[in-house]
Amino acid sequence: MDLAQRSCGSAPCRLSPSEAAALQAAVPEWTIEAGDRLTRSWQFADFVGALAFVNAVGAEAETQSHHPDIELGWGRARLTFTTHDLEDGPGLTESDFILAARIDALPATQTR
């Protein structure tokens, strides 16, 4: 099943570095940072485009009950995923990659 077709689960399990790398291949524009964060940045023609994108991300995140950290500025947005409710501290889970894929599948927005 395509990653974007999955739903985030309710009991997250930390991914090993090799498991995270395998899932990252399905969302190649995203980067794993410090082994426990999944990030991606976008550029937009203006603030309105960036805000519209962030609002669409927020709506999708709500459907999955999994939420990114969002940085929004004029003509730009950056998302960071990490799962905070793991027993031994923040890390990457399959849910992070599922939502990244679902965000990549959102209707195209105008970027510059």
First to last CA, the chain: 32
pLDDT at 10 over 80: no
Ordered alpha helix ranges (H), the chain: 17-24, 47-64, 94-104
Average pLDDT over residues 14-38: 93
**pLDDT at residue 43 in the model:** 94
Cα 91 to its chain centre, rounded Å, is 13
Record the pTM.
0.84
Which tens digit of pLDDT belongs to each residue from 47-66?
A: 999 999 999 999 999 998 88
pLDDT at 112 over 80: no
Cα 9 to its chain centre, rounded Å, is 15
- The reply to whether CATH 3.30.1360.20 applies to domain 30-86 is yes
Which letter does DSSP use for residue 6 in this model?
A: S
- Averaged pLDDT of the chain: 87
Rounded distance between C-alpha atoms, residue 83 and residue 36, angstroms: 8
Both structure tokens of 72? 């929004």
Domain locations in the chain? 30-86
Rounded distance between C-alpha atoms, residue 108 and residue 112, angstroms: 12
**pLDDT at residue 55 in the model:** 95
Rounded distance between C-alpha atoms, residue 96 and residue 82, angstroms: 6
pLDDT at 8 over 90: no
Both structure tokens of 74? 């004029």
**pLDDT at residue 107 in the model:** 78
Contact status, residue 19 vs residue 97, Cβ threshold 8 Å: no
